[in-house]
């Protein structure tokens, strides 16, 4: 693919934000410098802020995304009301043991805490809260169990999963593990493969976090 100019990237990011109905882009602006896209402005929900960053990442030529968006919710909920709604939502989640995750709320900013057995449980709890009214920001401090899992076993489990999903000759993904944090590097052919690779890493027992340094190339 030819090298794209910052102006071309900026145009496509703005178009994508405007096109996707999950984001109200009327008060958003985009600037691009050397492939780094910065999104500024305000939205009505935290989910829109997260989605704006995700959409920008998918545009060819974008090397990194900086999201400087303020969440100005039209809903007027107290921190206690938001916390109560979060706790009720998580209590009904079939993927979480009862009482495994708690939430604290400070001026709309939510901090999730607790301990779960699997990385996907940590992810799903964050995903559930991300779309709730009144939430202006989110810190996921949920710990993942099985701290005894050695790095070499985590690495081997992820690599085995990737081998099941992709042909060996198409495999250009490197996996490294340190302090239960997985770093994925190398190249993938599309964003769906990138998503599946990241999901495979999260499914390994003992994974605390996943850093995605993968590049999408045609």
pLDDT tens per residue across span 148-161: 788 999 999 999 99
Check: CB of residue 214 under 8 Å from CB of residue 187: yes
**Confidence band, pLDDT 50/70/90 cuts, at residue 53:** very high
Please give the Cα distance from 13 to 26 (Å, whole number).
13
pLDDT mean over 119-147? 90
Instruction: Give the lowest-confidence range in 36-40, 172-176, 193-197.
Output: 193-197
3-state DSSP helix/strand/coil % of the chain, to nearest 5: 40, 30, 30
More confident site: 113 or 165: 113
pLDDT of 193 above 90 = no
Q: Chain centroid to CA 12: how far?
A: 21
Tokens 């005894």 identify what position? 148
Q: Which helix (H) or strand (E) holds 30?
A: strand 28-33
Q: What is the pLDDT of residue 5?
A: 94
**Confidence band, pLDDT 50/70/90 cuts, at residue 1:** low
Kindly report the number of other CB atoms within 10 A of residue 190's CB atom: 12
Decide: helix, strand or coil at residue 61.
Answer: coil
**Confidence band, pLDDT 50/70/90 cuts, at residue 168:** low
pLDDT mean over 78-97? 95
Check: CB of residue 157 under 8 Å from CB of residue 205: yes
Check: CB of residue 166 under 8 Å from CB of residue 188: no
Q: Where exactly does CATH 3.30.1340.30 map onto the chain?
A: 6-71, 79-144, 151-216
Kindly report the number of other CB atoms within 10 A of residue 80's CB atom: 9
pLDDT of 73 above 90 = no
pLDDT mean over 165-175? 76
More confident site: 164 or 125: 125
CATH of domain 6-71: 3.30.1340.30
pLDDT-above-70 percentage for the chain: 96
Residues 6+ apart with CB under 8 A from 74: 44
In this structure, which topology does domain 151-216 adopt according to CATH? 3.30.1340
Q: Which of 34, 63, 66 is nearest to 52 (CA)?
A: 66
**Confidence band, pLDDT 50/70/90 cuts, at residue 102:** very high
Decide: helix, strand or coil at residue 135.
Answer: coil
CATH architecture of the domain with residue range 79-144: 2-Layer Sandwich (3.30)
Tokens 């939510």 identify what position? 110
């Amino acid at each position: 693919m030819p090298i794209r100019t910052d102006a071309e990237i900026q145009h496509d990011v703005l178009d994508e934000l405007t096109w996707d109905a999950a984001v109200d882009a009327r008060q958003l602006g985009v600037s691009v410098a050397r492939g780094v896209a910065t999104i500024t402005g305000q939205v009505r929900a935290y989910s829109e802020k997260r989605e704006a960053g995700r959409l920008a990442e998918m545009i060819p030529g974008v090397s990194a995304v900086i999201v400087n968006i303020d969440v100005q919710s039209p809903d007027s909920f107290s921190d206690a009301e938001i916390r109560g709604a979060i706790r009720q939502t998580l209590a009904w989640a079939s993927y979480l043991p009862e009482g495994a995750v708690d939430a604290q709320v400070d001026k709309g900013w939510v901090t999730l805490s607790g301990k779960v057995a699997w990385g996907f449980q940590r992810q799903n709890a964050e995903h559930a809260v991300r779309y709730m009214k009144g939430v202006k920001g989110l810190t996921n401090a949920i710990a993942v169990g099985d701290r005894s899992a050695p790095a070499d076993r985590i690495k081997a489990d992820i690599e085995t999963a990737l081998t099941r999903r992709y042909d060996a000759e198409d495999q250009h993904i490197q996996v490294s593990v340190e302090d239960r944090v997985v770093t994925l590097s190398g190249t993938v052919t599309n964003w769906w493969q990138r998503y599946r690779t990241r999901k495979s890493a999260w499914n390994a027992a003992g994974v605390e976090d996943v850093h995605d340094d993968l590049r999408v190339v045609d």
